[in-house]
Each structure stands twice: as structure tokens, then as C-alpha cells.
Amino acid sequence: MFTKILIANRGEIACRVIATAKKMGIKTVAVYSEADRDARHVLLADEAVLLGPAPSRESYLVADKIIAAAKQTGAQAIHPGYGFLSENAEFSRRVEDEGLIFIGPKHYSIAAMGDKIESKKLAGKAGVNCIPGVNDAIETAEKAVEIARGIGYPVMIKASAGGGGKGLRVAFNDKEALEGFTSCRNEARNSFGDDRVFIEKFVEEPRHIEIQLIGDSHGNVLYLNERECSIQRRHQKVIEEAPSPFISDATRKAMGEQAVALAKAVKYQSAGTVEFVVGKDQSFYFLEMNTRLQVEHPVTECITGLDLVELMILVAAGEQLPLAQKDVQRNGWAIECRINAEDPFRSFLPSTGRLVRFQPPQETMWQADTEHLQGVRVDTGVLDGGEIPMFYDSMIAKLIVHGKDRMDAIAKMREALNGFVIRGISSNIPFQAALLAHPKFVAGDFNTGFIAENYGKGFSAADVPHDDADFLVALAAYQHRKFRARASGISGQLAGHEVEIGEQYVVIALGVDGENVRSTVTVTDFNGDSGSSLVTVGGKSYQICSASRLGAMRLSGSCNGQPFTAQVERGMGKNPLVIRVSHNGTQLDAMVLTPRAAELHALMPFKAPPDMSRYVLSPMPGLLVDVAVQPGQKIQAGERVAVIEAMKMENVLFAVADGVVGKVLAAKGDSLTVDQPIVEFE
């Protein structure tokens, strides 16, 4: 067994590998870029080596630097994680040529299966049912349009070395095929150093279900059940679960056996995943094989009780798999939510910056621990106060729950999301909460088009209706009264002007454009206990009890005997009187006032925000890679204005109305902040 391994990656997957290595008594070496100097994986590892500047093409994608770091530190093996060089056959071969062990498949398996074009050809020869398409690399955008027409729209344009939603577009017409081809090549070149692109038919209303494999050097390959990955936004997985609520035992067995046969054909070793498109009638088609550990591997670990990273290391060291197919278990139900640094209320644009607060929910399951299941686990590569850089992907953490059945897992996940505190940047937690509450998701009635169908016009607060909005009002009043009670106990108050607690309040829920909603609320101590109050809102009564520290963002307790977790904080925005309550994805901004103060507030005029419609503003922090207009140029609605790169994705800004460009306020190569003006119209 190895005594030291190097992890050629960053973020949560690097931390994940370190956890298993520590369990096995193996020392670890982290590598990092200048942007990751203070990252969590660097702190957790036994040693750390600087690779170079922040851009991945100058650090995490430079094979020579990684191999040199392994030799310099005496590491015997390299674990590539996922992304970066994990599916690069040349890197795997180089590692072996240098006398090191690659903790992953052999280079010939990666070459055969990791390359999406070659894997489709091989699968076709093996008699695997494949989706119609052209599996040869396409050289020009014009040729891409010609091929797309031949296959018939819609088509999927994919980078051969792509993954994680990078280098992938769906085109429904010639214009989208032309633009999608160019964007795919650019993203693939920047993320993977390989700009080959191919096209295949896009199967509408498909399910995305994948089979987890593990193989060893003794010819053994097992399938470890399936994962349901159909909840996707722009081809990036958002929620994954295991098992799938859709397929039957017979389909599971058939998919598993086909995946194993495919892996054995290329002498596959290590962990890998065969992805399938599954139709309504449970017919399935080979999509691609990922020759690496998947982001969503924890849900498989939960239901099987296996540590996949440990199995990868054992196999790489030449050991035989410690179990047979008949020993593979399927216990309970696991769900994973990807917590990303993006603003769901601003079209999911990337959100970078400092994590002013990062307080995950309490964990009862841990990485590399296969004993403590049926609970909550958080896989992350960030720390409280850490930085989310714009150079890498947007994932902050993975939240994983394991329940006795699917409904139990959904309930655990909703409660865990309620307790996940992230401040300083935006996250997609409200969107995750909305998905988990959607009746079709709860019923298991969805496909890969679920998000596009239900949130095609974007996501707004109205998409997360709370099942009891008065409960949020009650929480705001409850917390405000606790603050008043503490203030009333401060010594040295001026006689006759002491802080009075009071029992009658008006809660003003702040709406857009001054459209506020007022509620009359009564709050009294319950049984003389200051931590327990009876709150009455519009005829409804809420007995709220909580021992949470006053001022803590996370408020846990019970309401009418039922446990709850919510987030409550004061002084939000520019108004120090505002209390923000977040629960089940719904957010309430409210002021809790005395009746007299509420009367006076009603007399205050509403100040409208300034009109910025003449400007094209940067919707996110990022790098301005192109400005497509010049002063004096006439443009029409829908024309390209600028391109911003953030978190390895190109984001194109289009004109929303016809106009004439007055000034260009930012130059190509500038680093932009949120709402920074780029172009001003006359």
C-alpha cells in the first residue's frame, strides 16, 4: 500500500480524497494555484506544493508541474479527482512512464472510453444501442450547421473532452447551432485544452441515469447500482439521488450488466460511470463513459455502505476487490444537492467573493465513514471567511442526506437546506428548496427537461410559495421581542424612558416598489418562559420555543410541538430595522414596529431606485473577454453586446432593446464587478 499520494485537484474533491487517505494511514500532498493559497485542501494535506498562477491552464492543467511535485515530495501515486486532468489519457500514461501510479483507469481505457467520440465508435462495434449522431470531430461552424440539419433538430453539440456541463449546447435551429459550436469550442479549449466537438441527436424528454462501476486489475468489474441525475439546469446536474425512482429491478440489472460488459471490453480498472439516456418505456441508450470518480459519488456510498475512494486506492495498489456482485447492497435512499455560488434570482449568474459566513448544517455522516449512515453529510472545499475565486467552477459544497426511504430523504434534505448558512455571496439554496417541494419532484415524475419546463422564464421568489406564510411573520415578531427583552435588561437606562417590551406589534412585510403587507401581531411569554412565546397572527396561534443563542443566524426550535430550523437576522440591506426570515426557500424581509411607529411609517414616501435602462450592466463579477459594439453603432434587440467569462463559463450579454451605442465604458480584459456599466446607450 502507498505511504504517500498526491492529489492533482482542488476544492471539495481534494478534501474528499484526503479524508480517505487519512483513514488508511496514507500521507497526502496537495497542489494549489496562487488563488488557492489559503484553501481548505491545502490546510488539510500533510504537504502542499504551489503550481503557479490562478488560471487552471497555468496550474492545475500543467502535467509537468504536477508530476514534478509528486517526485519532489516522494509521493508514489497521483489521484486526479474529477475535472482538470482526470480523464486525460496522455496524463495517465505520463504518470505511469515516470514510475508513478495513477489512481484511476489505465491510459488505454481512458483513451477508448474517456473520449466521447472514440467511446461511441467502440460502443457501436460492441453492439450497444447508441443515439444517432456524427461521431467525428467537426472543423467549422458551417459544417456543424450542415450536419445538424442532416440529423434533424434539436441536436446536442458536445466537446469530445467535455464534462460538468462545459462545452455543451443544445441547438433547435441554424442560428443556435452556429453560435453553440463556437461557444463549445472556446469553453472546451479553455477548460480541457481540447477543442474537438461533435454532434448527436438530442432525445427529448429523456431520463439521465448512470451506473457506477468499480473494476480491479484481476479482471473483476462490479456495478454498484444506479444514480438518477435527471434534474439538470443547462446540462449541469443540480440534484442527484440513488436509487432511481423510475427504473425497475429488471432494467437496473440489464443496465448494470451492459455497463460491466462495456468496461470489461477495455480492461477497465478503478471507479467509472456509464451514463445512459432512458426512455419512457425504460429502453436505454449508451451516452458516454466517465473514466473517473463522479461528483455525485456520495449517494452511491450511502446506499451501498462502500467508500469509493478507498476502493480506487486499493485497486490502484494492485489489490483485488473485497466484494462480489452478490455482496453489493442497496439500503435506504440518498439525495445530493449541489450548492453553487450563483444567484438564482438573477438568472443563476455566477457569484464570486468572500464567504462572510459559511455554517453548514450539523453533520451526522462524514466522508470516508461507511459506519454512520442515515443522516446528513457535507462535502466542501471552502472555509468560513474563505474566497470563492472566479477562475474555477461554482460549487461551494455538496449536501448529502441518507434516509430510510425517498420521502424521508426529501424531508431531511429540506431541513438541512434550512440550516445551511451562506453569506457574502449568493447561493442556489432557495432554488434547491423549490425543487424539493415541487409536487412532480416529490412524485418522482420528471425528466431532464424538468427545470426548463417549470422554470423556463427564470426563477423568482414567487416560485417558492410557503405553505404557511404567517409562520414567517410569527418568527420575525418572536425574534424581535427577544431582542427587546434583552434591551430592556440593560442597566443605566434613563428613568421614565426605559425600553418597554410590549406585546402588540405591526409586522410590515416589505415588497417591491413599496408594495408592503401589514400584519397585526400579538406576542406573549408562554408559561413565563422568555424562550417560549405564544404568537398570534391573523387569528392563527404559534407556540414557538427555541434555545438558540440570540443573534445567531440559525434559529432551531419547535412550533406547536413540531421541530423547525430557520434563518433569522437583523439589519439587512440599508435598513437596520429590517429582519430577514428564511425558511423552506422562502425569504421574508420585514420590519416589526409598535402600532404608533407603524402609523408614522405609513406616512413616509417610497424612494424609487434610479433608472439604469440606458446601460448594459455586468450581471456578475468576471473577466470581460469581448465587447462587440462601438460608439455610434446602431444595434437591435437580441444582438450580442459583450462576453463575460466567469467560473469557466462564457456568458453572452445581449441588447434588450433597439438603440444607438453612446459610450463603451469598459475595455476587453477588464475585471468587472456586479452591476458595473459596460455600455451606455444614447
Residues designated as active site = 288
- Amino acid letter at 370? T
- Amino acid letter at 118? E
Q: What angle do CA 295, 299, 300 make, to 5 degrees?
A: 95
Rounded CA separation 596/142 (Å): 70
* R_g over Cα of the chain: 27
CA quadruple 192, 195, 196, 198: dihedral, nearest 10: 90
The residue with cell 467573493 is 353
Residue 513 buriedness (CB in 10 A; 0-12 / 13-18 / 19+) = exposed
Closest CA to 391 of 621, 177, 230: 621
Encode 186-230 in three state secondary structure: HHHHHHHCCCCEEEEECCCCCEEEEEEEEECCCCCEEEEEEEEEE
CA quadruple 425, 431, 436, 438: dihedral, nearest 10: 160
Rounded CA separation 340/397 (Å): 7
Closest CA to 337 of 396, 422, 285: 396
**Torsion 365-370-373-377 (CA) sign:** positive
Residue 434 grid cell: 423549490
Rounded CA separation 52/276 (Å): 38
Question: What residues pair up with 343 in beta bridges, in sequence order?
Answer: 349
DSSP, collapsed to helix, strand or coil, labels residue 162 as strand
Closest CA to 97 of 119, 122, 64, 127: 64
Residue 443 grid cell: 412524485
Question: What residues pair up with 679 in beta bridges, in sequence order?
Answer: 616, 664
Residue 14 makes CB contacts below 8 A (sequence gap 6+) with 7, 30, 41, 45, 81, 381
> Does residue 389 have a cis peptide bond before it, meaning omega lies within 30 degrees of 0?
no
Q: How far apart are the first and last CA of the chain?
A: 69
Does residue 334 contact residue 241 with C-beta atoms inside 8 Å? yes
Q: Give the Å distances, CA to CA, from 451 to 150, 237, 334, 399, 432.
A: 29, 11, 21, 20, 11
Rounded CA separation 55/59 (Å): 7
Question: What residues pair up with 221 in beta bridges, in sequence order?
Answer: 215
Closest CA to 3 of 31, 21, 27, 23: 27
φ/ψ of 451, rounded to 5, equals -70, -45
Closest CA to 395 of 351, 354, 435: 351
DSSP 39-107: -HHHHHSSEEEEEESSSGGGTTT-HHHHHHHHHHHT-SEEE--SSTTTT-HHHHHHHHHTT-EESS--H
In 309-367, DSSP assigns E strands to 333-340, 342-343, 349-350, 353-354, 357-359
Rounded CA separation 27/73 (Å): 11
Most distant pair of Cα atoms in the chain: their distance: 91
